[in-house]
A = this chain, B = another copy of it.
Amino acid sequence: MIKIKIRTSFLHLSFGAAVIFMSALSCFAQGEPPTPTPTPTPTPYSTQTLAELMQLHQAALKSDYAYRQVAHLSNNIGPRLTGSAQAQKAVDYVSAELKALGLEVQLEKVMVNHWVRGEETAALVEYPGMAEKTTQKIVLTALGGSVATPAEGVTAEVIVVRNFDELEALGRDKVAGKIVLFDYHFDKQMAAQSRAGEAYSQAVKYRAEAPSAAGKLGAIAALIRSVGGAEYRLPHTGQTDYKKDLPKIPAGAVTAEDADLISALAPQGPVRMHLVLTPQQLPDVVSYNVIGDIKGSEHPEQIVIVSGHLDSWDLGTGAIDDGAGVAVSMEAASLIQQLHLKPKRTVRVIAWMNEENGLAGGKTYAKDHEKEIANHFAAMETDGGAGHPLGINYATKPEARSFFEPVAKILTDSGAGILNLAEHPGADISPLTKLGVPGFSPIQDNRTYFNYHHTAADTLDKIVPRELAENAAVVAVTAYALANLEKPLPR
């Protein structure tokens, strides 16, 4: 701890000195573009770059460009499920916007799966204490990729387990022919403690694996308690992951309330459910990653990616997941252009396709650009909502930390000065980071993110314009810093 403190203190001084020098320079530079510094600076960035980063930071906080982009994506285009007409409309929109900003734009083809939601209803048709000839509605949604029940649905007893161990303990005899509810609780306490990602990781295991685990024992359908924190009778969708060679059974997520209800009733006597889930898996379709470049002035072949994913789930309008990430990435380009900055490396905006249910965009890009991986200097992704950013996640060699400290220093002004060595900076860039490309993302306040994530309530009102601008500031400043870093990143 002491070591770190000393280092920080040293940086503070050296950065302070740079600021003084820079201020002088910026007075000088009012009338004409500042000339590059003639000698290597003591920091990883030239004084001109540091001045530009501060400019970017301030401009981002004042801009409403990102908000207008996410407003258009969510309100005017709406839900953008992979394979849908809306997803294509979003491709066309972002492509046109980036062209209007003066970027070199390409659509890179991606074959994507085309799953569509169908009818999704359920009701308890037998339970202890019920009034005769009545049913009780169960609110649920199909998990992405789910196979369908027959159109008329299925009716079966529901058995409740809290985890995989309880399922195993029951065994095939008690599971076969039943609907299994996995009542594993998302840890809201943990999420409130700013460990939402951890809470999500624990619970999402059930979304991914429960259907195959139940199918293996002969269950006819699997339901999970929604993965998320909200208790407003709101089901959370998300992709499930059938294991090869195991029976595929219909899979849905009930709301927290409905999970509580069934869990309260089941110990009192038999609970039977009528369940209708009729999603369809259609043939794969052609879609696109949208790619827009601001060519580097010194190393155009070296690429710094700044990105979010354009597809969303279909229940909400994909404002925080991940219209926001696309919007702040577009904002980075917009600000660079608006301020007439010249990044030394190429800044590449990517609006990825199909993060939610396949990751085809990220995978295809990594494959298509396999030969240029060494030239992918860094990749950034924003896919954790639009909450106030606290700093930067960096997935690089730990010794690169000092390169980011001057950047963090600038971002401290908007409360985003933390540097965190992270393992997984983003799903779409993971095929790149696995190949050694340094990865980055904003650290975001995500305490309430999983209340809305993958639900009908992922809508524009969940975004606080000021906080979105703060995210745009982190993204723009980080991306530009990486593009102008004076040294290579260790990888």
Contact = CB atoms under 8 A, between A and B. Distances in A.
A460 B134 contact: no
A89 interface: yes
A459 B257 contact: yes
Contact of A134 (B85, B130, B132): B85
Interface string A449-472: 001100111011110000000000
Interface string A282-314: 000000000000000000000000000000000
Interface in A121-170: 127-134, 136-137, 139
Nearest to A85: B131
Interface stretch (A12-20, A74-82, A356-364, A414-422): A74-82
A98 interface: no
Interface in A213-235: 230-234
Given A129-B76, A136-B78, A233-B316, A260 B85 contact: no
A129 B455 contact: no
A455 B233 contact: yes
Given A260-B461, A460-B260, A461-B257, A78 B130 contact: yes
Interface string A234-274: 10000000000000000000001100110011001000000
A128 B89 CA distance: 12
Interface of A: 71-72, 75-79, 84-86, 88-89, 93, 127-134, 136-137, 139, 230-234, 256-257, 260-261, 264-265, 268, 316-317, 451-452, 455-457, 459-462
Task: List 7 A-B pairs, minimum CB-CB distance, nearest first.
Answer: A76-B129, A232-B232, A89-B131, A233-B457, A233-B456, A85-B131, A257-B459
23 contacts: A71-B264, A72-B129, A75-B265, A76-B127, A76-B129, A76-B268, A77-B130, A78-B130, A78-B134, A79-B136, A84-B131, A89-B130, A93-B129, A139-B456, A230-B232, A231-B462, A232-B234, A232-B451, A233-B234, A234-B234, A257-B457, A257-B461, A264-B460
